[in-house]
Structure 1
Amino acid sequence: MKEKKRVTHAKGTLRAIARLLRSHRLVLTIALLVSFAGVVVNTVAPLLLGYATDLIVAGVAGQATPAGLTKAEALDQLRAEGRTTLASVYSTVDFLPGHGIDFAAVASVLVTVVALYAGGSAANFAQERIAANVVQAVARDVRRRVEEKLAKLPLGYFDGQPRGELLGRVTNDVDNMQQVLQQTLSQLVTAVLYATGLTAVMFVISPPLAALLLVSLPVCAVIAAKLSGRARPRFAEQWAATGALATHVEDMYSGHTLVRVFGRQTLSEAEFDKHNKTTYESGRAASFLSATVEPALIFVSNLNYVAVAVVGVLRVSTGALSIGEVQAFLQYANQFSNQAGQIGSVVGRFQSGLASAERVFDFLDADEQSADPAHPVTPGNVAGQVEFQDVGFRYTPDRPLIEGFSLSVRPGTTVAIVGPTGAGKTTLGNLLMRFYEPDSGRILLDGTDIATMSREDLRSRTGLVLQDTWLFEGTVAENIAYGRPGVTREKIVAAAKAMRVDHFVRTLPHGYDTVLDEAAGISAGEKQLITVARAFLASPAVLILDEATSSVDTRSELLVQKAMAELRRGRTSFVIAHRLSTIRDADLILVMDQGRIVEQGTHDELLAVDGAYAHLYTSQFVSTLRL
């Protein structure tokens, strides 16, 4: 049953590849015509070589028979002398007794053959060039679709995918798909055309020999189907293992300091060896199975070729075929065997590309986030009034996280959200940004249901500062201006000054034009200040600060807190924090547990209640004193 599903998946992948090629059908048609011309030229050439051989045989026969006789008389004389076989061979050519080889005619034929082979090579070159252009265009289209897909996928998809696996699908698998198509597309078309043309010509020369040669085709088809069918899942395992290996390497590289600090090098190497062994074993099995297709087909074809050669010689001896015809037929038979092997090789190699294509199209077929409304609502100036109305949400259907959550936040209010891990704090920010959609209830921004707004419009009015400081390898100015492309340098500097970034930026080698890479020497606190300046320059109406100071040192935390205090001024802010000392001045503190608000109030009010917040605060305060 599993095998049937896999085959169906393969057929669907082939149809998807065909749809990609369909947009280039005009160019592919030209390539097909050029390839057909090359096949015709290269198919005619052996016939002419066979004709040249017959001219030589006719000259030899003419020299061996007395002048003045007709062809029939010369053949009767040979039979009367007991040389029946020779008479049968000479009967297949048109000779004139007493006349030798017509070297001018032979030379003319050979020149024509050389010209035909030159034309065939030119056609093959043109066809390969066109096919290469088409494959590159297809790869470009796939990469564009991958990029567009990344923008349409919900956050949950990325949360559920290992980074190396995802990167493997959008890089390695796309590249492998391109390379395999490059290697196999033109070869497969040419091989099929050649096989078809050769079959037609061989039936014209000798239907019995052609039928004998085709006896091996069903055997070759079964061998190719069995071996390639077993190779494809192995290639899929290989690319999946490659993704797992990439994930492990990336984790070990990004966390190499911790790996060394905790002495986990040996375990890390053992894990690497495990992934590497899996990749090796699946790759070895896949390569072996795909590589055996061509030699297996060539072996069967060569056995058939021997049978054809023997029967062909016997037919020459009986006068049914000329030596030139048998020579041409054997050339065709040899080419046919080569084309059969070529098709087998292409089919074997194609399995790797097909496995990668399956993984790429699985990614492209992944469920996308819900579409924006056809006519989205665009609020005017947003003051920052946020309302959660009976919101319910769950990451998995059987595990509710947030149920019946309601909250109304006035514009300009700072709301701190605290609670144990898994309480749903970050989820509220994700729902407000529409990274996830609520299962029930509504979220309003200045009275407008955010589900009726476009995501781009909503997020342009919402700022987000995370615990992980994401900076790309660009200049400081480019990183600050990431949310406001085209903004002037003056506004970038003004934002940097407001967020206490300007001072340390000016100490960098190239100031705002310093490229942020490993050599820049930027501390974690300074990186976080740059992200705060980025949010400040974007000037959002609503701000979400998710553990924005938890990964910096105490001194940097004070600087970041001062910058964020300035950033929050006049904006509705949601501060998610574990360090309760950082949210004492919040206008409202929500204590969440299992997706519900269990306490709310100001810092002093919650301490006076002596409930969950007070216990959390006291435990942190005591822990700090002990340290």
Structure 2
Amino acid sequence: MKLSIKKYGALLAKYMKNSKLSLFLLALILGGSIGLQLVNPMLISFFIDGIGANKPMNDLIKAAVLFIIAAFTQQLLAIASTYLSQNIGWRTTNTLRRDMVKHCLSLDMNYFKEHPSGELVERIDGDVTALFNFFSKLFISFANNVLLMVGIILVLAFKSPLIGLAFTLFLVLAFSILGRTQKDAVDNFGKDREITTKFYGFLGEHLDCTEEIKVNGAGSYCLERFMELLRKWLPIRLKAHLSGYKIWITLSGLFGMGDIMIFALGGYLWYKGNITLGLVYLMINYFQLLENPLDQLREQLMDIQKATASIIRIEELLKLTSSIKDDGTASLGEEEELSLSFEEVSFSYEKEIPVLQNITFDLGAGKVLGILGHTGCGKTTLARLVVRFYEPDSGNIYLNGKKQQDILLKDIRKSIAYVTQEVQLFHASVRDNITFFNPGIPDELIISTICRMGLKDWYENLKEGLDTVLVPGGGMSSGEAQLLTLVRVFLRNPRLIILDEASARLDPVTERFLENALSTLIEGRACIIIAHRLSTVQRADNILILDKGRMLEYGQREELLKNKNSRLNELLSFGIEEVLV
């Protein structure tokens, strides 16, 4: 798991291009802080030697005042650097999160079927959070720590070449050992990030299924799987962090030996009269000062290791491409009506397991197609192909006579509304739930549409009107929630509407509200109604009956009803729900 400096540079250049001024100021502040860290011990050294040499009191007072000013300025610079680095880190990581979310939304549905929501949360948030220090000040701080050590050696070499040489040899030894001890750390942190993602994927998946787990008494089984995952995680986490602590232990040993070396060398040179007592203090202070940048370098190496593992995983995600190629150039225009045609369309989620086979039908502009069939016959899959969630294995789909692949994907999604029986509500206001956070839709239009959908009484009971915050899973009946999703469709004003068992969870009274609303909604629009109840498709012009992914029957509803041998008539004679469900 190696990452080139070029890739580090490319990532920094891409996401920090809008923070150049802040980076420049941060570099200046950290540079000034380095200078003050070098000057302060020199002022104290001057003060110590001045007392021994009986220098004038004014000179000593000046040195003391300068020291106080420098120390105070250093604290101010520390505050400023913290503010700037936090600001840079948040801006850049949020930009990266935005890009990752945008990329995930562009992937096809196969990716989301294979990766649970918790895994995606850990990828988008966990991996990016690990890059916070990398973006905020890691490389600038790393460079400044190196410059501080170089500055210490140059000052001491100027005072005494022997002392400068001793410090240089110590740093060479320290870096050599650091390089050896961090060799396997990147791989360890990469494995840790990987199993962390699996853990959050498991957690998200099972939290989504809490009700089913309780109903089926599977709590103990899920808990056992949970503990099994934790048992696998522990040794990997320990190995990753021990690879970092190994560097800390090594540094502690190095500085223990270094203290002995400095005290022995300083004491010997002072005893021989080669250096002053102030220089002995400077040696000791600078050596202790070295411990901080070296310790920071240790932490920064760990951060770089974590960042490297995260960058590699982020790159893997960003390199994924959707099987749905949005390279069409044709537009559906602004025509009010939309027609749909399937021509010998076949599809399978897995190879050699067909879900749809040789489906052919035409849905004229403004017409209604009712699709009937038992559970698992391919009704929902057909609807997903219409909105181009998947590509057919063979055959073609046409919209207004244009091949689906040749049409801009945004035009397809804009022109078609797909309503399922699974209602998705956000923890947000009623307004945002209906408009999908589009502030351009006026409140008057939203309220009038709510009333048209039969939700007037529900709306009037909301304490804060459109500003009332909805909580998913609470506060609304299934019927009200389903009607609320249809309000979204009204406001979108699509040209083709797909209702996939949209009335399956509605009581008879609410379903009548739905039927009345649909009469207005589908007027002048093409519509596909997927159902298992004949009453739901009474308004259909054509009927398509599916069985095991094949077309069992297709034709005009009136013609099929007249034909006593039709499958539709057979279903009527036996009771459609008994036959299909």
TM-score range, shorter chain: 0.7 to 0.9
2:291 is matched with: 337
Q: Decide whether the 8 Å contact of 1:414 with 1:574 is kept in 2.
A: yes
Match of 1:408 in 2: 362
**Corresponding residue number in structure 1 for 2:245:** 291
- Partner secondary structure for residue 47 of structure 1: helix
Aligned residue among 28, 36, 43 for 1:41:
36
Residue 298 of structure 1 deviates from its aligned partner by: 3.1
1:194 is matched with: 148
Counterparts of 1:510 and 1:341, CA distance in 2: 55
Superimposed CA distance per residue, residues 376-402 of structure 1 (whole angstroms, 9 cap, x where no aligned partner): 424242422212344455546776655
Closer/same/farther in 2, CA of residues 299 and 19 from structure 1, 3 Å limit: farther
Assess if the C-alpha contact under 8 Å between 2:48 and 2:277 holds in 1: yes
Does the C-alpha gap of structure 1 residues 363 and 406 become closer, same or farther in structure 2, counting only changes over 3 Å? same
2:399 matches 1:445: yes
User: Which position in structure 2 is the counterpart of 1:461?
Assistant: 415
What runs of 5+ residues in structure 2 fail to find an aligned partner? none
Deviation at 1:508, TM superposition (A): 5.1
Q: How does 1:319-334 map to 2 (within 5 A)?
A: 319-334=273-288
Number of the residue aligned with 2:482:
528
Deviates more, 1:399-408 or 1:165-174: 399-408
TM-score by length of 2: 0.84
Which amino acid in structure 1 is aligned with residue 22 of structure 2? V
Equivalent residue for 1:76? none
Partner Cα distance (1:477, 1:41) in 2:
56
Higher mean displacement: 34-43 or 485-494: 485-494
5 Å matches for 1:201-280?
A: 201-280=155-234
* Deviation of the 1:162 alpha carbon: 0.7
Once the two structures are superposed, the pairs formed by residues 34-433 of structure 1 within 5 Å of their partners are 34-57=29-52, 59=53, 102-178=56-132, 181-182=135-136, 184=138, 187-368=141-322, 372=326, 376-391=330-345, 393-395=347-349, 402=356, 405-419=359-373, 423-433=377-387
Q: Which digits, 9 at most, give the CA deviation of each residue in 1:569-609, with x for residues without a partner?
A: 44222223345664365333334456543432356849955
**Is 1:544 aligned with 2:498?**
yes
TM-score by length of 1: 0.79
User: For this pair of structures, how many residues does the alignment match?
Assistant: 579
Match in the other structure for 1:25: 20
| TM-aligned CA distance change 1:292 to 1:536, over 3 Å | same
* 1:380 to 1:302, Cα distance in 2 relative to 1, 3 A: same
CA distance in 2, matches of 1:602, 1:374: 33
Write the deviation string for residues 207-260 of structure 1: whole angstroms up to 9, x where unpaired: 333333333445433543454454444444444444444444444444433333
Q: Distance in 2 between matches of 1:236 and 1:532?
A: 45
8 Å CA contact 2:328–2:409 kept in 1: the answer is no
Report the CA distance shift for 1:264/1:371 in structure 2 as closer, same or farther (over 3 A). Answer: closer
Taking the aligned partners of 1:132 and 1:358, their CA distance within structure 2 comes to 23
Q: Between 597-606 and 303-312, report the one with greater CA deviation.
A: 597-606
Report the CA distance shift for 1:28/1:442 in structure 2 as closer, same or farther (over 3 A): same
CA distance in 2, matches of 1:464, 1:608: 34
**Structure 2 partner of 1:78:** none
Deviating more after overlay: 409-418 vs 552-561: 552-561
Matched position secondary structure for 1:601: strand
1:302–1:337 CA contact under 8 A, matched in 2: no
Tell whether the 8 Å contact from 1:13 to 1:361 is kept in structure 2 after alignment: no
- 8 Å contact kept, 1:298–1:337: no
Q: Answer whether contact 2:532 2:577 (CA < 8 A) is retained.
A: no
Counterpart amino acid of residue 127 in structure 2: D
Structure showing greater radius of gyration is: 1
Aligned mate of 1:16, from 11, 19, 28: 11
Write the distance in 1 (CA, Å) between the matches of 2:41 and 2:465. Answer: 73
2:464 & 2:63 partners in 1: Cα distance? 75
Deviates more, 1:458-467 or 1:530-539: 530-539
Query: How far, CA to CA, are the matches of 1:163 and 1:363 in structure 2?
Result: 14
Specify the alignment match of 1:63 in structure 2. none
Structure 1 stretch displaced more, 614-623 or 319-328: 614-623
CA contact (8 A) 1:233 1:355 kept: yes
Residue 472 (structure 1) aligns with: 426
| Deviation, structure 1 residue 464 | 1.3
Alpha-carbon separation, structure 2, partners of 1:35 and 1:432: 58
Please tell me whether the aligned partners of residues 228 and 293 of structure 1 are also in contact (alpha carbons under 8 angstroms). yes
SS at match of 2:2: helix
Residue identity (%): 24
Q: Which amino acid aligns with 2:99?
A: R
CA distance in 1, matches of 2:273, 2:253: 30
Relative distance call for 1:428 and 1:22 in structure 2 (3 A) is same
Cα 1:13–1:610 change in 2 (3 A) is farther
Amino acid corresponding to residue 26 of structure 2 in structure 1: A
Question: Please, which moves more after superposition, 112-121 or 131-140?
Answer: 112-121
Separation in structure 2 between the aligned mates of residue 160 and residue 490 of structure 1, nearest angstrom? 42
Q: Is the 8 A contact 2:106 2:322 kept in 1?
A: yes
CA contact (8 A) 1:413 1:573 kept: yes
